[in-house]
């Protein structure tokens, strides 16, 4: 995997295929001819689309949640396939 390193101040660019990119940048940072020193360009992260949404054909079931002190049972309705509360 090749890593591009770009200096915004002087336009210097390096493509590092092996080794440490930080070592290459440190070497350039010391010797950058630009006034004010080197400024490293970080490209914006690539857009990664969200995963597709899988629609579930819900199969509702009653699940016992709790029993009150008076003996009354409380249930919740959830999908047996995905576990989502309905």
1-32 pLDDT per residue, tens: 788 889 989 889 998 888 888 899 998 888 88
7 vs 12: CA distance, rounded Å? 5
29 vs 41: CA distance, rounded Å? 12
Query: Which CA distances in Å does 68 have to 61, 73, 75, 76, 77?
Result: 21, 6, 11, 14, 18
Domains of the chain by residue range: 3-41, 56-86
The pLDDT, as a whole number, for residue 72 is: 92
Q: Which two tokens mark 70? A: 């008076």
The pLDDT, as a whole number, for residue 49 is: 93
DSSP annotation of 49: P
């Amino acid at each position: 995997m090749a890593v591009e390193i770009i200096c915004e101040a002087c336009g210097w660019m390096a493509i590092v295929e092996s080794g440490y990119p930080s070592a290459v940048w440190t070497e350039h940072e010391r010797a950058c001819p630009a006034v004010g020193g080197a400024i490293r360009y970080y490209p914006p992260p690539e857009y990664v689309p969200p995963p597709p949404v899988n629609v579930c054909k819900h199969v509702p079931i009653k699940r016992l949640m709790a029993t009150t002190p008076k003996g009354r049972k409380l249930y919740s309705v959830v999908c047996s396939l995905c576990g989502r509360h309905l």
